[in-house]
Amino acid sequence: MNQIPNPATLMPERDAEGYLVEPGDWNEDVARVLAVDEDVQLNDDHWDVIRFMRDYYEEHQVAADARFVIKHLEARMGKDARRKLFELFPYGHVKQTCKISGMRRPRAWSTG
C-alpha cells in the first residue's frame, strides 16, 4: 500500500519534466515521492505495474510501452486490463506510469 514518503529521501536528478535522468537511481522510496508529485495513491495494483516496468527495463534496457503493460495485466484482470491501466494512471502511461517507475521520458511517445 501507499506509505508516506520519507522527507529525508534524497531524490535523484530529474529532467525538466520530472523524469529520472538515470533509471538505475530509482528505488521504492523514490517511487513514493514521484507518486505524490503525480497525485497517485499507490496500492497493490500500482506496485504490480511498477514492478513489471522495472523488470522489463532490467531485461530490455527500455521502458515497456502500454501494450506490454496491458498484456501483463490481462493475465490477472482479463479483458479489462486496458481500462484498469488508465484507471490506475489516469494522466497516461508515459506521464505517470513511466515517471513513477523511474524511467526516462520515452522520446518517441506522446505524454497522453
Inter-residue contact 25 to 55 (CB < 8 Å): no
Q: What is the pLDDT of residue 5?
A: 56
* Residues sharing a CB contact under 8 Å with residue 96, sequence separation 6 or more, in sequence order: 38, 40, 89, 90
Q: What is the pLDDT of residue 94?
A: 84
Q: What is the mean pLDDT of residues 14-30?
A: 95
Q: Please report the DSSP string for 58-81 in residue order.
A: HHHSSPPPHHHHHHHHHHHHGGGH
Q: In order of start, what are the domains of the chain with their CATH numbers? A: 23-100 (1.10.10.370)
The predicted-structure confidence for 55-112, as pLDDT tens digits, reads as follows 999 999 999 999 999 999 999 889 899 999 999 999 988 889 999 999 998 876 544 4
The predicted-structure confidence for 23-60, as pLDDT tens digits, reads as follows 999 999 999 999 999 999 999 999 999 999 999 999 99
